[in-house]
Structure 1
């Protein structure tokens, strides 16, 4: 059989090459073709995945956050529900320049993906063997924030790039800028630039001056730690860094930097910083924002389940209001009533605060920060640090019992003398009552101060066998898709022995299945009701913001007894 085959002649343009070079070129071209096909298929795969996302979401306002009590009763909304959208014409040009300098200088030049920056970041990530550099453009950040692409991986990055290119093809640069600023988080519960401008500076976005623009842009990378409400010095440092970047990009010169830095920053006063409708909702918002910031949760449509019991909250508010009105209706009452104050009388009127904790966990069942939230937003449940008077007696007993001394019911001075003021103060602090204290025998006569929250915590410690619970308001946070983002873990700390807690709690009177103790300072300027029930501890304070005598101790006692009886039924 013949095996003859025609001889293949090497093309003239390759004849001059050595054999090894021809083989190398052959493999290079082959690998290039295979790589090109693979790359093309990869592009098809990720653009197919990106096509499954609804780009209309980019311009939509995220759903509001719903807040419920522990039994599923809706209490209100929070977070993004107060957001307002802005358009490009509402955004100062200086803010746009600051944003470009800090986040994406070539924003108007690239098509969504800055190839130069991406290549530089890729090289750095390979060297660091980690995702230390992101090279995210504003468009990429918008895509990531809209569709919650948080995971750091090659797969997610490729999907983000594909989505970004789709966003760039759908929206103009000005629309991308506006949508980006409408969606991102600025700390202090501010979702979007308009809410941030109103919350921090009390003005619309279009009214922001250059100093405010630079500060807002500066806090974007760390909205929690750089919030001017939380740390004004850190916010000013970020403002300076933003201005320095603007100068480096030649958007402004040194004279302009100096001029902007000289513009004073005027933040909204603390008493005007909330739009909530009650002390409880305001407290929930504060705790919620702390959790969202720490966990980097920024999307809308959240379901927040709180620890509050709406029915008990309403009952406590109603019974407390009735008791205060009874005091004001006395013939010898010399101060304005709440109704007279509302009608225009300027002098202060009788105030109150109350907290109920679930004894075993520290879950807050009810919180009242004052008599009228619309008139005064000052939360006295955590802020009113007032003399306890005889309401301090249980912790004198707890200190004596903890040190093996006799507890003498009705004789706090004799009980306290056995161990002295310093040891009594140490035990009281362990139970959650932080003072200030008088380090003399007057301590045993009630010269110790606490907030209603601290007193409720101290009571819960006694009822919980000496384990001090940490108060909290939020049980869980769930995303719009049903995914649980946060679940509270109750925290307790050993404070005193179980027997000492039992002896101290025994000092409280037993009425209607609950233990109640009413205390008033000797001067009659503060009145306290401490209630320790089977499941919850309640601390109630009554007095004036500017301390002054309320009425006689006997009359106060009668009102407290009446209130205690109501709460015990």
Structure 2
């Protein structure tokens, strides 16, 4: 068999090359072809993945956040449900300039992906051996926020790029700007620019001035840390950095920077913030905002399971209301009560506050911050720090028992003298009652102050064998897809010994399996009811915001006895 083959002549344009160079060039070309094919395959794979996402979602209003009690009963909605959509026409031009300077300088020039910035970020990440730089454009951030692409990996980045290119082909730059501002988180429970403008400054987005625009853009990168409600000076610093960046880009000059810095920032007053319908919901909303920021949850459509027991909450509110009406009837008042007051002072009506804690965990089962939320949003459950009177007696006993002294029922002064005021105060603080205290023997007559939340915590400490629970309102937070984003971990700290807690709790009168103690202070200005049940501790305060005598001690005791009977059944 013949094996003859024609001789293959080397092309003239390669004849001058050494053999090693021809071999290198050959493999380089083949490698280039292989890389191009692989690159095309990767592009096809990720564009195929990106095609599975519905781009209509970009322009939709994210779902509202629903709040439930511990048994699954819906209580209300969180902040995101009040989100309002804006269009490009609503956005001040200065805000757009600030956004470009701070987040995406070449927004109007690139096709959604800033490949120059991406290359710089890639080199930096390789050097750092970590994902320290992202080079995300506004369009990429919009894609990520819409479709919840959070994982830091090459796979996530490639999918994000493919989605962004699709998004840019579907929406105009102005639409992308509006959708981006409608979705991002601005802290304080504010999802979207319109809610942020109304929450922080009490105005619409279109009415924002230059100083407010620069501040809102400045806090985007750290919405919790830089929230003006939380730290106004930190927000001002971010505002200054935004203005400096705008100047560096030539978007404004030095005179404009100084003019904007000099503009006053007028935040919505504390008493006008929030739009909840009850003290309990407002308290949940505040805790939710902190968790969302601390855990970096920026999504809508969440399911929030609270610790509240809706049935007990309703019962506590109803029983309190009926008991207050009994006091008013005894005095011949009608609600709202316009009590006797000096000329020139504001009339008042009788107020109340109450907290029930789950003894073992500190979960808040019920919270009443006042008589009428629509009339006054001041939460007295955490803010009304009033004299305890005889309600302080259990902690005098706890201090004595903790130090091995005799507990003399019905004789708090004699009991307290065995250890002195300073030691009694120290033990009371360990149990959650922070005062102020009188450092004389008057302390043993009840000259100590606390809020209803503190008193409930102190009671729970006695009922929990001396372990002090930390009060909390939110059990869990779940994403729309069912993924659990947050789960509370109850926290307890040792306060006093188990035997001391038991002896102190024994001072509370046993009644139908429930231990109840309380009464009016010597001045008759405050009335307390302390209830320690099998599973929960309840502290109730009744009085006027501007302290004044409520009623006779006998009438108050009668009302408190009636309330104790209601709660004990």
Give the TM bin, normalised by the shorter chain: over 0.9
1:246-265 matches, within 5 Å, as 246-265=246-265
Query: Hey, what does 2:81 align to over in structure 1?
Result: 81
Please say if residues 79 and 300 of structure 1, whose CA atoms lie closer than 8 Å, have aligned partners that are also in contact: no
Query: Hey, what does 2:342 align to over in structure 1?
Result: none
Please say if residues 305 and 476 of structure 1, whose CA atoms lie closer than 8 Å, have aligned partners that are also in contact: yes
Quick one: distance in 2 between partners of 1:337 and 1:436? Answer: 32
Query: Hey, what does 1:49 align to over in structure 2?
Result: 49
Quick one: distance in 2 between partners of 1:48 and 1:296? Answer: 30
Q: Deviations over 1:105-152 (max 9, x none)?
A: 000000000011000000000000000000000000000000011110
Please state how far the C-alpha of 1:2 moved relative to its aligned partner: 3.9
Quick one: distance in 2 between partners of 1:549 and 1:374? Answer: 25
Please say if residues 388 and 519 of structure 1, whose CA atoms lie closer than 8 Å, have aligned partners that are also in contact: no
Please state how far the C-alpha of 1:289 moved relative to its aligned partner: 1.2
Quick one: distance in 2 between partners of 1:35 and 1:236? Answer: 50
Please state how far the C-alpha of 1:519 moved relative to its aligned partner: 2.9
More off after superposition, 305-314 vs 124-133: 305-314
Please say if residues 337 and 350 of structure 2, whose CA atoms lie closer than 8 Å, have aligned partners that are also in contact: no
* Structure 1: gaps of 5 or more residues: none
2:285 matches 1:285: yes
Please state how far the C-alpha of 1:527 moved relative to its aligned partner: 0.7
Quick one: distance in 1 between partners of 2:289 and 2:438? Answer: 37
Q: Deviations over 1:341-383 (max 9, x none)?
A: 9xxx951111100000111111111000000000000000011
Query: Hey, what does 1:271 align to over in structure 2?
Result: 271
User: Helix, strand or coil for the counterpart of 1:365?
Assistant: strand
Query: Hey, what does 2:12 align to over in structure 1?
Result: 12
Please say if residues 356 and 456 of structure 1, whose CA atoms lie closer than 8 Å, have aligned partners that are also in contact: yes
Quick one: distance in 2 between partners of 1:265 and 1:300? Answer: 28
Query: Hey, what does 1:536 align to over in structure 2?
Result: 536
Quick one: distance in 1 between partners of 2:402 and 2:280? Answer: 35
TM-score between the two structures when normalised by the length of structure 2 = 0.98
Quick one: distance in 2 between partners of 1:517 and 1:178? Answer: 58
Q: Deviations over 1:301-344 (max 9, x none)?
A: 111111111111111101101111111112465xx731669xxx
Query: Hey, what does 1:503 align to over in structure 2?
Result: 503
Quick one: distance in 2 between partners of 1:479 and 1:125? Answer: 30
TM-score between the two structures when normalised by the length of structure 1 = 0.98
Query: Hey, what does 2:335 align to over in structure 1?
Result: 337
Please state how far the C-alpha of 1:4 moved relative to its aligned partner: 3.0
User: Helix, strand or coil for the counterpart of 2:330?
Assistant: coil
User: Helix, strand or coil for the counterpart of 1:304?
Assistant: strand
Please state how far the C-alpha of 1:475 moved relative to its aligned partner: 1.1
Please state how far the C-alpha of 1:485 moved relative to its aligned partner: 1.3
Please say if residues 68 and 76 of structure 2, whose CA atoms lie closer than 8 Å, have aligned partners that are also in contact: yes
Quick one: distance in 1 between partners of 2:534 and 2:223? Answer: 42
User: Helix, strand or coil for the counterpart of 1:493?
Assistant: strand
Aligned length, in residue pairs: 564
Q: Deviations over 1:472-495 (max 9, x none)?
A: 111111111111111111111111
Please state how far the C-alpha of 1:42 moved relative to its aligned partner: 0.2
Query: Hey, what does 1:441 align to over in structure 2?
Result: 441
Please say if residues 337 and 348 of structure 2, whose CA atoms lie closer than 8 Å, have aligned partners that are also in contact: no
RMSD of aligned Cα (Å): 1.2
User: Helix, strand or coil for the counterpart of 1:162?
Assistant: helix
Please state how far the C-alpha of 1:20 moved relative to its aligned partner: 1.6
Query: Hey, what does 1:139 align to over in structure 2?
Result: 139
Query: Hey, what does 1:480 align to over in structure 2?
Result: 480
